[in-house]
Amino acid sequence: MFQGISAIEFSKMFVDNESCYNYLIDLKWGKGYQCSRCGNTEHMKGRTWYYRRCKKCLYDESVTANTVFHGMKMPVLKAFHIIFRVTTKKKGMSTVELGTEVYVQQKTAWLFKRKIQSVMKDKSLLQGSVEVDETIIGGYRAGSENKGRSLKDKAAVVVAIEALGGDKTGNINFEVIENFKADTLEVALTDLIAPDTYIQTDKHAAYEALKEKFPIATKVSNKGEAFPEIHKQIMLFKNWLRGIHHKCSSTHLHAYLDEYKYRFNKRNMRKWIFNDIMQRLMNSEPRPYSILSALCAYST
């Protein structure tokens, strides 16, 4: 397995499509073959060296079948280079840069990166002492009448962090929300935070209304001074979105939140991120654009 962030070592290990397919074969069948249709564990030679044909039902299966790599048009070596750049660059890369470096169209780079983002989603819940706040993505534009917390042409996001004290942050979590009402925030807190976790937030009326359902402590935010760490994390995310990707549509905002969260929560595991993403891609169903669009159900 490739574990590292060195471009030189990566280029030595993956020199052509064949070496990439060998890596995928080890991920998929390294612990033994099993037919994805009938469950049989015996196989014979398939149509090419990276296929396996079931001896029972004769299903001829490619190593990329039933994975995110299924139906991919570009060479697998280029896909590996995109994955390497997306996972090992500390702050990631825009699809314009990816397309230029790997010699594919920006739309091709965007679609494949979107597939990578789709396996970055992590449903783990925050624990310990958690701070919560909301933010708006989209900001004020000159001449716009949609100031303040108006959500026209903007998107609202709940942000939660594990506050460790001493200006230190544990894991973070995000969720796109439709509005700032109590019932909406109740669903978000349930999705982001483990039950019975101590929550600190500002005196927004919706949180006051939720004190009977969650262990919430509120205090005056004073323009963020009372919660410096969570406001720092909000600014870091916004700067990352503007600086690396420049912009994203509200339809796919959740995917960029998932990517940022994945990167932040695994910041001390950068050497293993490439292999982790590869395993997730190989253990996930195909993600054509139609499926990725359907996954935008909670976007604003």
Q: How does pLDDT run along the chain (300 residues), one tens digit per residue? A: 787 889 999 999 999 999 999 999 999 999 999 999 999 999 999 999 999 999 999 999 999 999 999 999 999 999 999 999 999 888 889 999 999 999 999 999 999 999 999 999 988 999 999 999 999 987 554 444 555 566 777 899 999 999 998 889 999 999 999 999 999 999 999 999 999 999 999 999 999 999 999 999 999 988 778 899 999 999 999 999 998 887 788 888 999 999 999 999 999 888 899 999 999 999 999 988 888 876 654 332
Domains of the chain: residue spans and CATH: 1-31+67-118+268-300 (no CATH), 129-233 (3.30.420)
**What is the layout of strands, in order, in the sheet containing 168-177?**
168-177, 155-165, 129-137, 198-201, 216-218
pLDDT at residue 213, as a whole number: 94
Q: Using the Cα atoms of residue 97, residue 98, residue 100 and residue 105 in order, give the sign of their dihedral.
A: negative
Query: Rounded to the nearest 5 degrees, what angle is found at the Cα of 162, between the Cα atoms of 211 and 113?
Result: 115
How many residues are there in the chain? 300
pLDDT at residue 226, as a whole number: 85
Which residue's structure tokens are 């323009």? Answer: 223
For 17, 22, 90, the CA distances from 153, given in Å and listed in that order, are: 44, 47, 30
pLDDT at residue 151, as a whole number: 73
Give the residue from 173, 298, 151, 186 showing the smallest Cα distance to 233: 173
Contact partners, residue 153, CB within 8 Å, separation at least 6: 138, 144, 146
pLDDT at residue 222, as a whole number: 84
pTM score of the predicted model: 0.89
pLDDT at residue 235, as a whole number: 94
pLDDT at residue 291, as a whole number: 81
What single string gives the DSSP state of each residue in 22-41?
A: HHHHHHHHTT----TTT---
